[in-house]
Amino acid sequence: MTGYTDGYWWSPDGLRLHYRDYIRAGDDDGRPPLLCLPGLTRNARDFEPLAERLAGQWRLICPDMRGRAESAYAKDAMSYVPLTYLQDISRLVADLEITRFVAIGTSLGGILTMLIAATHREWLAGALLNDVGPALDPAGLDRIRSYVGVGQSHPTWVHAARALADSNGDVYPGYGLEQWIAMAKRLYRLNSGGRIVLDYDMKIAEPIRAMGSEAGVDMWPVMSAFAGIPTLLLRGERSDLLSADNALRMARDIGPSAELVTVPNVGHAPALDEPDSIAAIDRLLDRVLRG
């Protein structure tokens, strides 16, 4: 396991939040850190494969959003919304005295990356939007609503892995048991009763259910904020959340600074350890270094 330190910061409303800090070895050559923002039910552990590959060359800062893993659960469930997450991340950036970073956002983390581009474009030395965009397909949203906030309990890690394989086999059809167990250990935790349970506050589902099928804010204008910033758009070939047409429109709206890569035989969302993802991330970071 690649080494990291545990860090903590306080949200504006007084929650103690956690992040992993994979400190870069060697002299500081000015390269910006990678701020890794996880998906809705994910946490800092979701970026372990990326950190295994890049830590030492780059500093990776991987927060647990409120209500996930080692971060405190919110008293008000309606604070589990992107604008509040953005406020939390803004406080973390301020506390760490970071002025520029590469945002790596998976799903919800990509939505936060879009909000950062809209509000603090100057922070972004580069960006990765992983299988998410301004328009989300109803089929994918319905699938997410069907499982988020539904508690699960398993007696062993193998049972948890098999449950993941049953529910996500279409997303990662090439996975074997070893990969499902690794994913289970990123998504679940061992509770005090010795059971394997999901590692997030089930109440994160409440704002999603309250919103229903209502359309959110039109985020398409935000794409122009990425113009001139090295940007990687990753889309899973089997994604039910980001359509191929919408991904192409995103690339067109951003312009020459965007690269669109479709990761074969993967749904929502690429795990960032696929060969196509690895090569694309390396190209993104090379563009960041070249300025």
pLDDT of the residue at 213: 56
Examine the pLDDT at 217 and tell me if it is beyond 90. Answer: no
Q: Is 120 exposed, middle or buried (0-12, 13-18, 19+ CB in 10 A)?
A: middle
Q: Which residues contact 105 (CB under 8 A, 6 or more apart)?
A: 37, 111, 112, 113, 114, 127, 128, 129, 130, 132
At 25 the pLDDT is: 72
Q: What are the pLDDT digits (tens) for 245-262? A: 999 999 999 999 999 999
Average pLDDT over the chain, rounded to an integer: 95
**Which range, of 17-31, 117-131, 133-147, averages the lowest pLDDT?**
17-31
Q: Is the pLDDT of residue 215 over 80?
A: no
Domains of the chain: 5-138+216-290 (3.40.50.1820)
283-to-257, 288, 289 alpha-carbon distances in Å: 12, 9, 10
